[in-house]
Structure 1
């Protein structure tokens, strides 16, 4: 059992990979900065604010002549005294810049849509690309403009929802979700769905048996994490239903949804599974996609 968000104090003292957040000057991007700062404070890590300059030129770091990242850093230092904040500006396409920088980050954060997004889309191309290709966990903050002003408090006290499908990436998601819930002192809702297998010959097990087996498997997967995070209250949600509608329903009123990048049914080589992508595209709350740092 390996926890990709290690909250032990000794580990935090020796591993200083930053939380990275991408900005573009939109209200949503500063809302994402506030979420990133909150995560950095909880993880006891520095925050790095990155502005990708979408212009022709070499893929390299540049002096922030525009001052956008610097302005964001000054504002967040005022809201989070004591947080170590650095800035960087790069020439290059934002998604590519953030993916490359994620190689040396603990977490990378973006708003779901920046200044170039279409109003009809809940999540932009940068968020989708980052969730599928980042080298560390990626947090996509939906409707991040809700928290762009200092007068808007982040939604504390709500439960964390996790999609726990029994896959290797699902195990990473459990570790992240328990760490988030423990750090915020909120309950955790673990979601697993089941389907009746199709048989050409014979009858499948009854629905009651299948539901009981699925619940038992989920309880087994949760046991080591519950032993590690004893303070986290866990609610199990096991349903005979496609995964996406159940996860979206559970997300209503939640703090965030935590998912593995690919589930059990994902094809080798796929960077983002169908369920994770659909939840990412339609959820109304931040979505944290688990990836091994």
Structure 2
């Protein structure tokens, strides 16, 4: 990886893609990274068409340079399936950003689409910006003062998600809400442990996981939220007024995978807020 790996954003000429570009530029500025705008073209005709298509990435770069003149912006247009092109570029990136609506490869978050594919296979964190067309116009202000929500399940992937969430919250000067859910065991040996006990144990475990991050980021206000029941409705409810929601790509319990029907995939498909998936290379 390069000394200062870029934030990469995929474009396809749609308003949603340009909304994702604005989010990517914002992330690049906050984290002190350059921005690389990538357009992937699945050619079905003469190869010369790729030259014409490069205008999509160039036009996006021109708009972003007007919006943020101090940002280092470059472009690239590649022949290939968008998901595969972006996964390959993610090997040398700090973050990959895509919109959840658009034409071509960025149309949806159905299984196999670009967003889900990246969330499962990228070599760096992935930010999926839902309904990104909301931020396509220069008059549309990106959210600034909303909290960040992170799913903290106690796994190594959840720990990576906590690190990303704290870094985002610190860079944006916003509060952080850490969510952990618990389920009552179906079969309990004896009755010495009550539901209240399990809830208290879960809360203590979450506080212990948060402690080193609180010490590293003392200026980030943190709220720990422990809930009994399924993870998806809790996370989606917290995300209603959130700036973004951060999840590990693998873990235990509710955040274990990106398989169909998993919590991570359901959150990706249904969250109103952008979702940052803490992929690791």
The TM-score with structure 2 as length reference comes to 0.92
Contact 2:105 2:114 in 1 (8 A): no
CA-CA distance at 1:275 after TM superposition: 1.1
Q: Is 1:54 equivalent to 2:42 in the alignment?
A: yes
Could you report, residue by residue, the CA deviation over 1:50-71 in whole angstroms, capped at 9, with x for unpaired residues? Answer: 00012148x9xx6565411001
CA-CA distance at 1:202 after TM superposition: 3.1
Equivalent residues in 2 for 1:34-183, closer than 5 Å? 34-56=22-44, 63=51, 65-116=53-104, 125-183=113-171
1:206 matched residue in structure 2: 194
Q: Is 1:236 equivalent to 2:224 in the alignment?
A: yes
| Pair 230,267 (structure 1): closer, same or farther in 2 beyond 3 Å | closer
CA distance in structure 1 between the aligned counterparts of 2:105 and 2:129, rounded to whole angstroms: 14
| Pair 91,148 (structure 1): closer, same or farther in 2 beyond 3 Å | same
Contact 2:82 2:105 in 1 (8 A): no
2:7 matched residue in structure 1: 19
Could you report, residue by residue, the CA deviation over 1:181-200 in whole angstroms, capped at 9, with x for unpaired residues? Answer: 00000000000001111226
CA-CA distance at 1:221 after TM superposition: 0.2
Q: How many residues align?
A: 276
Contact 1:64 1:89 in 2 (8 A): no
CA-CA distance at 1:271 after TM superposition: 5.7
Gaps of 5+ in 2: none
CA distance in structure 1 between the aligned counterparts of 2:254 and 2:232, rounded to whole angstroms: 15
CA distance in structure 2 between the aligned counterparts of 1:46 and 1:220, rounded to whole angstroms: 35
CA distance in structure 1 between the aligned counterparts of 2:243 and 2:234, rounded to whole angstroms: 16
Gaps of 5+ in 1: 1-13
Question: Which residue of the other structure, out of 239, 249, 252, is the alignment partner of 1:264?
Answer: 252
CA distance in structure 1 between the aligned counterparts of 2:44 and 2:254, rounded to whole angstroms: 36
CA RMSD of aligned residues (A): 2.4
Q: Matched residue of 2:84: which SS?
A: helix
CA-CA distance at 1:201 after TM superposition: 4.7
Contact 2:230 2:254 in 1 (8 A): no
| Pair 117,84 (structure 1): closer, same or farther in 2 beyond 3 Å | closer
CA-CA distance at 1:139 after TM superposition: 0.2
